[in-house]
Every structure is written in C-alpha cells, then in structure tokens.
Structure 1
Amino acid sequence: MAKTYIIIVAIAAVILGVYFALPDRHFVDSVFPLHDGASVFEYDDKADGGSSEVTFALTDSSASFSCMLGADTAKSAWCGLLLDLSQGEEAEYRNWTFVDSLIFELESSGTDEILVKVWTFDPDVTDISKPRTFRLLMKEIPLTKGRQRIAFPFEQFYTPDFWYDDEHVDRTLNRRHQETVARVEIAPGWNQPRGKKFSLKFYSITAKGVSNFAFGVVMFLMLGLMIVAIGRTHSYNKENENKKAEPKA
C-alpha cells in the first residue's frame, strides 16, 4: 500500500514539475496592424442623406481617421472605423476565448470618448448576411488629448439594451460568444458635438490573455491520481475487513 502512495506522489510531482517548467502560454491577437486577410475601412451617413465628413488614411504602421458629424440635428449622424477580421466566413472568425484585455495605442484630438464595439457570431441570432445581427459587445472608452496607451478588461464589454430591442432578441440569450469575433468597430462617443471635427490615429490594437489549457490538463491529471488513490485505499480497507471477518482456524 505504501509503495502505491509513493508512486502516486512521484507521478504528481513530475506533473507539477512539467507544468511549472512550461513557458507562460500568453494569447496575443493583433487587431491592428492587420494580418490574416483582415481589412479596415471608414464609413459615414452619406448614403442615408447625412452630411457627416470623414477622412481616412492607412499605412503599414498606422490608421488615421477623422470625422465631423453633420450639423443638421433634424437628421441622424454617424461615422466610424470598421476592422473586418472574419473574411466573411464563420471558420475565419477570431477565437478570443482566452482574451482578458484589449490594449490601444493611439493619438486623439477633438474628443474625450470613443465607443469600441466588438461584433461576435451568435448561432442563435446571427444571419451572416445581416451585420447588425452579430452580437454587439460595447464599451465606452475615455480619452485624453495626444498620444496614449489604454488597456481595459474585456469583461467590461456589455451587450446594450438597444441591441436586444432592435434585433428582437430574447434577453435570456446572453452568452457573449467571445470565441467568435468577426469585427471591431470604433465610433464617436455618445456626446460627441455635431459640427466639431475629431481625429484618431491608431498605432496598435491588441487583444491579450492567458490560456488556462495547461492548468486544466494538470487539474484533470491530478484528479485522476486522487481517484486512483481513493480507490486503492477503499480496496485495501475492504481487503483488511474481509481478512478480519474470516473465521480463525
């Protein structure tokens, strides 16, 4: 019996030794600069009769975007920057299962807030041909003037009530579907003044996290060893009880 326990302890020590010897398994996905066929483009409200003015310039190392929302308050006004990560195919969506933070390095002027929107594929709701049916995860990001580096937890992203209402989605369908990211969108903040130009220059947008896969494997193996140890102890105790119950000659 003691030999069995020694073997189990030795195996557990080897498992832990291998785990601690592994390098940190960090997850990093570069949203910008672009890679893997991703694309970026600007949009405005001109097609719907709006008068917002947008300019956009892209280089290998930066994406510059400026916008002035239309001054006519009788009309809706919008503009933004859209990074398409999916290439239009579900199989190509970015898997952000292990993402715990988003990091922006950018330069800004004329605004103190942007909306960052992450659109994910939701199999219960999404029609690939209708972009707004992708699940919206959104976060308001405060800015200061000039160049800055901003990092914030991805868990702070939320699905706003208006998305459920606009797409007629049952609020019990609240899974984030973080493993299927299709697009990242940058839009003006809620209180951006009309008729006032703002500018953004992005140097990098990065999704980061730490994979728990190795830890999960270790816990599974340790659980297996505990089951073996408990089973062996139970068997040993039962054998002793049977021996004690045997009639003496």
Structure 2
Amino acid sequence: MSSVLITGASQGIGRAIAVELARRGHRVIATARRPETLADLPVDQRLRLDVTDQDSVDQALEAAGEVDVLVSNAGSTVRAPLESVPLAEVERLYQLNTLGALRVVQGVLPAMRERGSGRLVFVSSIQGRLVLPIIGPYGASKWALEAMAETLAIETGHFGIKVSIVQPGAVSTNGAQQAQSFIAEDSPYAPLYRQLASLRGEVITSKEVAAVVAGTIEEPEPALRVPAGAPAERALKARKEAPENEPFMPVAIDW
C-alpha cells in the first residue's frame, strides 16, 4: 500500500479521502492548519501543514517521511462578481488553491524523481475547465491549477511520476456555505447571486469524490483528468462540445 499525504484533511472532501484511503489499507498522513481537527481520523499521522507557509510545509514533510502519493486538496472559495471582488481575496485564493499546491509539490517532487516513482493527485473542479458567474475568482485559481498540473505531467512523466486531476462538480460539503460573500443586496449582480445554488447543478457527496480519488491512486495508468461523478461528466462533456468562440454556461441564466 502507498504512503499518502493529504492536504486540507480537516473537513469535507479531504477528510473523506483520508477515511477512504485508510479503509483501503494505505498509510495516510492527514494534514491541516489546525491538527487538532484531525484527532478522530483513523490515520497513521496527523500533522500541521499550512500550504501558504513554507516553514510549515518543510516541517510537515520532514515529519511525514517518504511520501508515495500527494493528494493536493487544500482550497477555499469566495462569492463575488469580478467587477467588485476585493483583489486581496483573489490573491488569497491563488496563494491557497494554486501556489499552495505548488509549494507542497516542490517539497515532495525531488524524492519522487530520485526514486523514479510517485503520484501527484490534484483535487480541482469542473470549474477548472468551465466558469460559473459569481465564483469566477475560484474558477480562475482552478484553471491555473490545472495548467500547472498538466505541465507537471509533461515535465515529470519521464521520471516515473504520474499526475492526475480529479474534477468534481457541486459537492455536499459546507465549503459553499462557509464561503465569504462580497455582494450587496442592491448589487446589479444580485439576480445572479440568488441563482447560484441552481447554477451549481446536481450535488454529489464527499464520499463519492473520495472513492474517485482512491480509485485514481490505485489505477496503474490513471488518466490526467478524472471527472468525479455523473454530473461532472455531463458538464465537462457539454463544455467540450460547445463552441470555443463564445461564453459557455452549463445551465441557462435567468436575468
């Protein structure tokens, strides 16, 4: 079984991945900014890791020992139109969702390359390939994450490292409910904001996403991009079939 380090394992998808991989017999290293939130997880190690802090990453990876698989899951989102989203919030998302992922990759990659084996699994979103209004900053960070992951697949494949991007759609976690909103009641974008739940489409569970992640890790030749669940498959298929020279929405908007 593999030694798997998971970032952002305190709740939601990350927690479900930790539970599923432990159930399958993997050595799981669960990490979070607050390690006390990991206390009840049935895993081998529980470590503090803040993907935005280099010292925190270095200390966690030293404590973790050999890592066969990195599951890069830590992330966050906000709700705001691009016209008025605070740029500091956009920077925060990139630091966490994109640069944070790269920071941990840079920590585990040298040893994987020297061994000639390893896996990098990035938990992205269908919003890494399409966009939804009012969630644009999050989508932009995931598009950047997927560009980075695909580049890594090209750069490191020769060294025996396999890269996969898992793409869920809407997931029944508290992430959306916890997302900070920067949109006033009288905003001209309020009609879009009020439709956001329906725009997100059919919801799947974090356990379903975890099963896809675990299956990807155990697949001998995993795909680069792996949609998580039927709703994601449908949305991404529709995006692929739509004209590239006009904006695409998976569902209609009612202004």
TM > 0.5: no
Q: Where is the strand percentage greater, Structure 1 or Structure 2? A: 1
Q: Which has the higher helix share?
A: 2
Bin of the TM-score, shorter chain as denominator length = under 0.3
Compute the TM-score of the two structures, normalised by the length of structure 2. Answer: 0.23
Higher Cα Rg: structure 1 or 2?
Answer: 1
Where relative contact order (Cα < 8 A, 6+ residues apart) is larger, the structure is: 1
> Scaled by the length of structure 1, what TM-score is found?
0.23
